[in-house]
Amino acid sequence: MSYTSVKIEPLGKENFDTWKIQIEALLIKNDSWKYVNGTIPKPKEPPEAVTTWESNDAKARSDLILTICPSELKQIKNCPTSKDIWNKLHSVYQSQGPARKAMLLKTLILLKMKNGEDMRDHIRNFFDVVDKLEEMELCIINDLLAILLLYSIPDEYENFRIAIETQEKLPQLEALKIKLLEEYEARKRNSKENVSDAMFISKNPDRNSSNQKIQKRNPQNQPERQKSL
């Protein structure tokens, strides 16, 4: 495996879903995936075929091990083949029991966008959790997801939130995503313009005072002196 051209975040406690997609792609690229998923089972004979299979499976096993955090290697210490490792990791990290569903629901409800955070990253994180719940056949209705998303953004978006809530009907999630991104981009542009104006003023501090001095020297702005008799 070439680590100079392919970088995969090592498997930890929280990233199995993304790690699984990346490592599967890597194994396919290295012609090892069929050993991991069991499509190519270990032959019983002849000895040459057994040796070849064991060599190829060892390569697949190495690819898996090298992309797992050291702290998580204890999970696979008794797994002799790449398929054993894959099945073990699935059983440990992709449980579909009530505990995992509760954990994901809690994550979704408590997810909050921090001030200064990119709206695109926040929306991506939000829908990653939604996708994981749907994979476990736990689907949430559109209106509830829309409300959760609206209340996951900072208080500075309060006026935007009220404008959405006062509509006759909550928008579909895709439409809401577009509106949120448009609002975010508009605010970012305004912020840049304000910064530019502030920088211009700070670089020209004497401009206003010069204008005031000119006005004071202008005889049109001075009271007419009494003409001497």
Tell me: the pLDDT tens digits for 176-221?
A: 999 999 999 999 988 776 655 555 556 665 555 555 555 555 555 5
Mean pLDDT of the chain: 86
Residue 4: per-residue pLDDT: 39
Residue 215: per-residue pLDDT: 53
Q: What is the mean pLDDT of residues 36-62?
A: 96
Contacts of 2 (CB under 8 A, 6+ apart): none
Give the Cα-Cα-Cα angle 16, 19, 23 (nearest 5 degrees).
135
CA distances 161 to 169, 170, 172, 181, 184, Å, are: 13, 11, 15, 13, 13
Q: What is the mean pLDDT of residues 8-29?
A: 92
How many angstroms separate the CA atoms of 47 and 171, rounded?
A: 64
Co-location of 111 and 63 in the same domain: no
Q: What is the mean pLDDT of residues 56-83?
A: 95
Q: How many CB atoms are closer than 10 A to CB 22?
A: 16
Its domain, for residue 23, covers 16-93
Co-location of 105 and 193 in the same domain: yes
Co-location of 106 and 181 in the same domain: yes
Co-location of 61 and 158 in the same domain: no
Co-location of 128 and 199 in the same domain: yes
Q: Over the stretch 97-124, which tens digit does the pLDDT of each residue have? A: 888 889 899 999 999 999 889 999 999 9
Q: Over the stretch 137-157, which tens digit does the pLDDT of each residue have? A: 899 999 999 999 999 999 999
As a whole number of Å, the end-to-end CA separation of the chain is 105
Show the tokens assigned to 80. Answer: 């002799």
In-domain check, residue 174: yes
For residue 226, is pLDDT > 70?
no
In-domain check, residue 86: yes
Residue 140: per-residue pLDDT: 94
Residue 225: per-residue pLDDT: 45
Co-location of 57 and 141 in the same domain: no
